[in-house]
Amino acid sequence: MAVSFLKALDKATLQFYHYVAIIIAGMGLFTDAYSFFSIIPVTYLIGRIYYNPDKDGKPGTLPSSVLAAVVASVFAGSVVGQILFGFLGDRLGRRKVYGTTLLIIVLSSFLCGFSVGRSLNYVIVSLCFFRFFLGVGIGGDYPLSAVIMSEFANSKRRGALVAGVFSMQGFGILSSALVTMVVCVIFKGVQPSTKDTLFPHPPPSADLAWRIILMMGTIPAIMTFYSRMAMPETPRYTALVQGDMGRAIVETTEIIKIDSAVAPDVEDRVASSIRPDQYRFFSKQFFKRHGADLAACSISWFLLDVVFYSITLFQSWIYKSRLKHPQEETAFDEAFNLAKFQAIYAIAALIPGYFAAIMTIDRMGRRKIQMVGFLLMAIVLLCMVIWYPTIDSNNKHHTYKISIIYLVMYGLVLFFANLGPNTTTFVLPAELFPARFRTTCHGIAGAAGKIGASIGSVVLLRSSKMTHKHDKYQDLPGEGMKHILIALTVVCFVGAVHTYFFTPKSTVGTPLEEHED
């Protein structure tokens, strides 16, 4: 007797194609992380190149308002991309629009390196313009990548496979740091050893260096473009939305070995029992059946991104206590050292966090590790508030005294974020909704997250510039930074409580078809 094809797919063992799909689907996430983390050292180069030293003779820096615009532009694009391509993924099919998102990512990343103009303002405006479209591509890639992996996966290891796609961010972060370090070493090496390579005059080649750093992130995406275009439509979309079970069987069995024989005529009856026009998206019936889950996913992602992207921008302040003062090193040295710390945190905290999530998500469950992750983040952030650094008045530059323990606490926040909510908020929306609404719902939840990221990043950048009461500390982050840490602690506690009461209890090992109503 033939068994259901979709049930057989759920019981299929992990195979080579599953791992290939992780790499192919993860390239958009790789580029997302590369672009966000590489922009941090890049902005230091841009600040030195385009902004004249201030009256105190200190190196030029990017104003907080300009940095906020550069950061927020990609988030704004992500909101548009997640909603637009989430909708198109359900309307036209995952495969038809999947290549488009990667093409947008590649072209816009490349064009970021060609941000030029007659004046400084034109350079910044063109950079923000291209980063907006980079965000559109990255945003569109989120729902498509997550859903494609979930619809190819078996039920037993679905969480780990989707989390594996998301873990490609970790390698994007590490790659951005390594590329930045290599570019800085090369460009510094070809410069003559004169005072012109030091502050206040960065070498002309620095204007080329930051462009190369941004453009290098396109290479892995280009390498997987053909493979992405060659992917078949997901079996669940073909069977459940298009109603063509026979084609789903033929296309899927060419790449994934299904143990049991499947009879197309039986599957046609299964497909016909699920009517795509049962009710429309955003109808009363939709909200009755799926509204609570959509709200839960969106709120969790919003809260997580407020914290995660804020704490990520917090890093340059954390690192500075371990670096030379900008007046004592070249522009390339400063960017190199920032990237070096990014690489250390990627290896020691971020990537291990992703892999810990992969190992536990199908054992402990999404809800539990999300709640625990939020709670542990809150506890560590509270410790960072309690042991907030003091200013080293003996240092001529009056820097903060950041202890090794404080650096470890910062790494723990990143680790627990990736172990918990940063991963689960990506996984859950790919499981909780009917196939005909799946990428749309994932896109809405992700867009809520990027709105949170925009708010958190802009508020942190503005608050970090709040001045100290003492004139000699005017250039240091004031009490506003400490207040931000307190607010982030509260947000994490709220996230843990919200997860406990509103996040669905378990999707571990359950078929996606349980939500086909």
Mean pLDDT per 10-residue interval, the chain, length 517 residues = 71 92 93 91 88 66 86 95 98 94 94 82 91 96 97 95 97 97 90 51 81 93 90 93 90 83 46 59 91 97 96 79 71 91 96 98 96 98 87 51 85 97 98 96 98 88 56 51 90 98 89 85
How many separate helices (H) and strands (E) can be counted in the chain? 23, 0
Q: 254 phi and psi, to 5 degrees?
A: -75, -20
H helical segments located in 233-314: 235-236, 245-253, 264-272, 284-286, 292-313
Domain count, the chain: 1
| Predicted structure pTM score | 0.91
* Residue 505 burial class via C-beta count within 10 angstroms: exposed 0-12, middle 13-18, buried 19 and up: exposed
- The sign one gets for the Cα dihedral 361, 363, 366, 369 is negative
Minimal CA–CA distance to 108: which of 221, 228, 184?
Answer: 221
CA atoms within 13 A on the CB side of 450: 28
pLDDT score recorded for residue 269: 44
Tell me the C-alpha to C-alpha distance, in Å, between residue 274 and each of 239, 249, 266, 514. Answer: 10, 17, 14, 12
Provide the Cα torsion 145, 147, 151, 155; round to 10°. 110
Which residue range is the domain that position 305 belongs to?
5-274+283-515
pLDDT score recorded for residue 434: 94
Q: What is the largest CA-CA distance in the chain?
A: 83
> For residues 85 and 98, what is the distance between their CA atoms, to the nearest angstrom?
9
* Neighbouring C-beta atoms of residue 364, cutoff 10 Å: 17
pLDDT score recorded for residue 196: 46
Contact 452/304 with Cβ under 8 angstroms?
yes
Q: How far is CA 308 from the centre of its chain?
A: 9
pLDDT score recorded for residue 263: 44
> For residues 324 and 332, what is the distance between their CA atoms, to the nearest angstrom?
12
Indicate which CATH number applies to the domain containing 382: 1.20.1250.20
